[in-house]
Amino acid sequence: MDHLLTVLLLLWSSGLRAEGAQCETSTKADIVLVVDGSGSIYPESFQHVLSFITNMVSAFDIGPDRVQIALVQYSEDPMTHWYLNTHQNKQALLEDVSRIRQLGGNTNTGRALKYILQNIFQPNVGMRADSEKIAVLITDGESSDLVDSPSQELKIAGIKVYTVGE
């Protein structure tokens, strides 16, 4: 199944509308990509994830009044590649996608989910009060730590979480 289509359909259900290769929205969207970079992901598969991210980002109108995208890669510990307010346009964001290198290590998904709530979905790094808040978790499977509590905290905060299996 085409992962991009799945995510775009899920995001569409959140108020985003796809028109051709571009997604347009009448509301602002703050999207955080949470990427599993653990050692259980084969390097070839990680490259497919980066291609998926490139395709997904290409579909959106990126900017401070439209869609903002942050990216956090995780394994044992989460690592912010960029915040919601880092990129003012699509080209700069796509250039940064090409620079991402896989971390390796264990798969602490719960820690990553807690991290994005505390460090990324915050006004000081670009989260907007009037935006849709969406986390897209891209992973290959089971976490080494617990995910129930961090998932519930995101839900309580009004953040929609979608999971894409690699």
Q: Residue 128: which CATH number?
A: 3.40.50.410
Q: Which string of b and e fits 85-104 if b means at least 16 CB within 10 Å?
A: bbbeebeebeeebeebebbe
The structural domain count of the chain equals: 1
Q: What is the C-alpha to C-alpha distance for residues 57 and 61, in angstroms, rounded to an integer?
A: 8
Judge whether residue 13 has pLDDT over 50: no
DSSP at 65: T
Q: Please tell me the predicted confidence (pLDDT) of residue 149.
A: 96
Per residue in 122-148, pLDDT (tens digit) is: 999 999 999 999 999 999 888 999 999
CB 112 within 8 A of CB 34: yes
Domain that holds residue 151: 3-165
Per residue in 92-103, pLDDT (tens digit) is: 999 999 999 999
Q: Which amino acid is at 10?
A: L
In the block, residue with structure tokens 């347009």: 24
The 10 Å Cβ neighbour count of residue 77 is 13
Judge whether residue 10 has pLDDT over 80: no
Q: Between residues 150 and 4, which one has the greater pLDDT?
A: 150
